[in-house]
């Protein structure tokens, strides 16, 4: 998972065994802008089955966007916390722009 100027990218960013990379993305403009900031991000105590890399406890989080729930995981609980904080910061900036006009 990584951020570009206008999107949050996730998936396989490298190719292996002649398989093309499979990178998906969420446009940052699609992150819900709510008055007061607040994004629908929630940390998970236990990672759901099926996540790549079988993340440890407190490493996974949900992001709700466009009526979909995306599940991501950091390598460590601290990494997951940084991602959720960064995504909330982006949502707050978006809300400030949206509701100040």
What's the pLDDT score for residue 39? 63
Q: How far is CA 74 from CA 48, 51, 93, 94, 99, in A?
A: 13, 11, 23, 24, 31
Mean pLDDT taken over the chain: 75
For 70, the token pair is: 């995306």
18: buried, middle or exposed (CB in 10 Å: 19+, 13-18, 0-12)? Answer: exposed
Closest CA to 2 of 23, 33, 21: 23
The angle at the Cα of 54, spanning 42 to 68, to the nearest 5 degrees, equals 40
Q: How far is CA 25 from CA 15, 57, 64, 87, in A?
A: 17, 25, 14, 14
**pTM, 2 dp:** 0.68
Residue 13 DSSP symbol: -
CATH topology of domain 2-100: PH-domain like (2.30.29)
Among 32-41, 43-52, 89-98, name the one with the lowest average pLDDT.
32-41
pLDDT in tens, 60-100: 888 877 778 888 888 888 988 888 888 878 777 766 666 66
What's the pLDDT score for residue 34? 60
């Amino acid at each position: 998972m990584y951020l570009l100027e206008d999107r949050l990218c996730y998936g396989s960013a490298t190719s292996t065994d002649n398989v093309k990379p499979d990178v998906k993305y969420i446009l940052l403009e699609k992150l819900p802008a709510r008055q007061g900031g607040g994004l629908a991000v929630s940390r998970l105590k236990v990672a759901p089955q099926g996540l790549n890399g079988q993340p440890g406890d407190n490493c996974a989080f949900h992001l709700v966007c466009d009526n979909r729930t995306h599940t991501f995981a950091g390598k460590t609980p601290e990494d997951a916390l940084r991602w959720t904080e960064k995504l909330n910061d982006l949502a707050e900036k978006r809300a400030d722009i949206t509701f100040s006009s």
